[in-house]
A and B are shown apart, each in its own frame.
Chain A
Amino acid sequence: MMRLERRHESSRAALVLAPIGAVVFTLLVSALLVRWAGAPVGRTYALLLQGGFGSVFAWSETLTRAIPLILTGLAATVAFKARLFNIGAEGQLFAGALAAVAVGGMHGGTGFELSPWVLFPLMMLAAAVAGALMLLGPALMKNKLGVDEVVTTLLINFIVLLGVSALLDGPMKDPTAMGWPQSVSLQSDLELGKLIAQTRVHTGLLWAVSLAVIVWAIFKYTVLGFDIRAVGANARAAAFAGVPVTRTVVMVALLSGALAGLAGAIEVAGRTSYVTLDMSPGYGYTGIVIAMLAGLHPLGVIAAGVFVAGVLVGADTMSRAVGVPTYIADVIVAASLIAVLVATLLTQYRVRVTK
């Protein structure tokens, strides 16, 4: 029989060895699958690494992919820190993207004729508000009625996606799109500039990194940050100490939803310039993985976002070269998450084998 015993103190060595062990475990598990697919393990990993991080182009693609992942990762981090389990970042992302196009799109050929200095902030604000509102309902229902937010936020995703689908085939459809279900394009002067010429990486990266730093500063230096951490760690004790629990949960919902909404707007403004149903291959859900990989640390989200993006991008290159399906990337991401969670557990508990 095996049992877990709480360690009295986490040793320094364990804290260092845990992530290393997690990486080794992930590589081993994935290596088995690569072998199974009949490809050479070493070459596959080398190609994957090269495809994700091996050149300026690889880095530019990785960073491009990292932008929405960092933002949805932040959305999950903020919410999970307060134990508001927001599984709805995907829907909030689409709500944000739609709101951005609604404000900044070329409706009727031109759209709103306002200075971009006015329209751009309005567009971002609309996206943040749209995302925030998506999460406000579930947060209030959780707090006032005890409705499980995992269920509500998850289900709202499907409602939003179907709604987006209806809008893209209806009122928001681009008449010039040859029948494709896509929205009108954004006004071109609202689009984000490129960071590196000839690549796709755009200034949305600066938004993502700045927002990560802002969230980190909120956690560390503000009363709201204390409230969020206290409510997440022990809501009863927080309420006893005078923390306004409901107000905190509402703030968290608005913040988390706004971050996911901005992810949608920044994807539209930086990469796609219009909304389609396949603009997000599940960024909202991957954001949860990134938040967990980062241990709910806002700055760690940047690193985790780049890592996951690199694996996803690298897997495309690798797949073309050696024929291992790109699903291996999902396996690597999932295995690394499990490995990190187990490794964290093992820094706090020891396993004892008893007869």
Chain B
Amino acid sequence: MNPTVLRLQGITKRFGPLVANDAISLDLQAGEVLALLGENGAGKSTLMSILFGHYVADEGRIEVFGSPLPPGNPKAALAAGVGMVHQHFTLADNLSVLDNVTMGTEPLWRPVSRRAAARARLLEVAQRFGLPVQPDATIGSLSVGERQRVEILKALYRGARILILDEPTAVLTPQESEALFATLAQMVAQGLSVIFISHKLGEVLRVSQRIAVLRGGKLVAEARTADTTQAQLALWMVGHAVEAPQRRPAKSVGDAVCVLDHVSTASAKDGGQDRLREVSLTLRAGEITAIAGVSGNGQVALAELLSGTRRAVSGSAQFMGRALPPSPARLVQRGVARIPEDRHAVGVVGDLPVWENAVSERLRSPVFSRWSFIVRRAAARLHARRIEKAFDVRGAGLMSPARSLSGGNMQKLILGRALLAPEQVEQDTDNKKYPNRAPRLIVAHQPTWGLDIGAVAYVQQQLIAARDAGAAVLVISDDLDEVLALGDRVAVMHGGHLGEARPAAAWTREAIGLAMAGATAPQRPGAAA
């Protein structure tokens, strides 16, 4: 057996009553990829934060290459050869690759920067591990896959011999993921060790030699990858068997609910990456249209357009035969249910109580306020309680701040707010503006991002149920599995352009991957439409 390079012994970390890590012991050998598998909140990130010195463990010790690692000191972790690649990159967009890699490695008071030496070293490292880069390209001009490569190089440049990758494939196309796996294989072949954090079973099996599974802060299983199966891993990870949502085809597809015709949006402040260019799309009642694509290719613009928070500059956007109103309040009135990508920053106002968030979209309707001014608190809380019950929102109660909800419960709250029509309260007279009915169009952007398997299944089932009830559903997702699991029709976004929406059966994974990367998507020959 190879020598042990990293040894975690009895790591325990408590946050108040919550035990985030419960006596976790783990060894990492030289030249292996160890996958750390677990749902959100299982304790993966906490454990890695402790290893990297962002948190101090309450109990336990860490040894790197045989010597103990002082707790709570990121610099010591770096010096000991531990490098981390975060899910969200920590790169300066306006600087070159070389600048980003050397940033922070040079002494502040040396009068000249030894750029030539740094460049040579960077190219040498890049060559050794098969990670080709252009040192002088600015980060802003690179694709997401290339940026990740720079992040990895940054760690290697600093002499990392243990590399921690946090959900590295979340932002990659399938092809880019394959390239990453090849890189990892090359790195471990040269004696490096990798900890690969993920909640995707397929890629864990594909990339690792050993797998450790965390659940509820405990290490529940450790196995050689060769000895295990996807089903077994899922069981360990969740603790019980999970039924995948039933993939049923759309029963009856109805009329067009929403029609976009050559719609373009102005470029946002972020350099014009995320905008729509002449996008045409028809969403029909009783059908789920799923949009695949690498994040940052216009999905945000599309979701915001249909959520009322961004305007089109050209083209026509129709909803139920009339112009799509450019305001969230009026969209909700006309029957558009919206599930935003970032539930913490956009979905809820975290500091306000759950009940206020549950009615925030319809607070001005006569059901929840008199003359759109005095809040009918009893009616609002009653409705919040209905959402809590119908969508199984579990937390510290309606009065507690929405921030205190877990990701899954927060998403259920948002889902309930969007989907559950309020009951007629009292003899409410004029309610033309806020008809009490199920939504006609559902716009769901990354509806299951960061949720555990149970919550993912729940959210997907709700979307399918809404479709069967006659709503037009748009799902925008970076997760190809989700696109294929939900979409009756699938279209791919790239560079602000939206490809044709074709029946799911007409696509192969490879074809979607190619289209995500920007190649003109070839249709599978002879595929049934």
Residues on A facing B (Cβ under 8 Å) = 1, 3, 5, 7-9, 221-226, 229-230, 233-234, 236-244, 352, 354-355
Given the complex, which residues of A lie within 8 Å of B372, measured CB to CB? 223
Given the complex, which residues of B lie within 8 Å of A225, measured CB to CB? 375
Known: A8-B15, A233-B349, A234-B349. A355 touches B70 (CB 8 A): yes
In the complex, the number of residue pairs spanning A and B with C-beta atoms less than 8 Å apart equals 86
Partner of A233, one of B329, B347, B351: B351
CB distance from B182 to the nearest CB of A (A): 39
| Residues 71-120 of B at the A interface (beta carbon under 8 Å) | 71-73
In the assembled complex, B338 has its CB within 8 A of some CB on chain A:
yes
Given the complex, which residues of B lie within 8 Å of A229, measured CB to CB? 349, 351-352
| Residues 1-49 of B at the A interface (beta carbon under 8 Å) | 15-18
Complex CA distance for A348 and B62, rounded to whole angstroms? 29
Partner of B327, one of A1, A221, A242: A242
CB distance from B62 to the nearest CB of A (A): 14
Given the complex, which residues of A lie within 8 Å of B73, measured CB to CB? 354
**Binary interface profile of B, 348-373, with partner A (CB < 8 Å = 1, else 0)?**
11111000110011011000010011
A222 touches B373 (CB 8 A): yes
Known: A8-B16, A222-B373, A354-B72. A240 touches B352 (CB 8 A): no
B369 touches A233 (CB 8 A): no
Size bin of chain B's contact surface: 35 or more
Given the complex, which residues of A lie within 8 Å of B15, measured CB to CB? 8
Residues on B facing A (Cβ under 8 Å) = 15-18, 55-56, 70-73, 307-309, 327-329, 332, 338, 340, 345-352, 356-357, 360-361, 363-364, 369, 372-375, 377
Given the complex, which residues of A lie within 8 Å of B357, measured CB to CB? 241
Known: A233-B349, A234-B349. A239 touches B375 (CB 8 A): no
A230 touches B373 (CB 8 A): no
Given the complex, which residues of A lie within 8 Å of B349, measured CB to CB? 229-230, 233-234, 237-238, 241
A354 touches B17 (CB 8 A): no
Complex CA distance for A238 and B348, rounded to whole angstroms? 8
A237 touches B345 (CB 8 A): yes
B360 touches A7 (CB 8 A): no
Partner of A240, one of B18, B340, B356, B375: B340
Given the complex, which residues of B lie within 8 Å of A7, measured CB to CB? 16
Known: A221-B377, A222-B374, A222-B375. A240 touches B363 (CB 8 A): no
Given the complex, which residues of A lie within 8 Å of B338, measured CB to CB? 240
Residue ID in chain A nearest B372 by CB atoms: A223
Given the complex, which residues of B lie within 8 Å of A241, measured CB to CB? 328, 349, 357, 360-361
| 7 A-B pairs with C-beta separation under 8 A | A223-B363, A230-B360, A233-B350, A233-B351, A234-B351, A242-B327, A355-B70
Enumerate the 3 nearest inter-chain pairs by beta-carbon distance, A residue then B residue, closest first: A8-B16, A242-B329, A241-B360
A233 touches B364 (CB 8 A): no
Residue ID in chain A nearest B417 by CB atoms: A241
Known pairs A8-B18, A221-B375. 19 more at Cβ < 8 A?
A7-B16, A8-B16, A221-B377, A226-B352, A226-B375, A229-B349, A230-B360, A233-B351, A236-B345, A236-B346, A238-B360, A240-B309, A240-B328, A240-B338, A241-B357, A242-B308, A242-B329, A242-B361, A354-B72
CB distance from B371 to the nearest CB of A (A): 9
Known: A8-B18, A233-B349, A242-B328. A226 touches B374 (CB 8 A): no
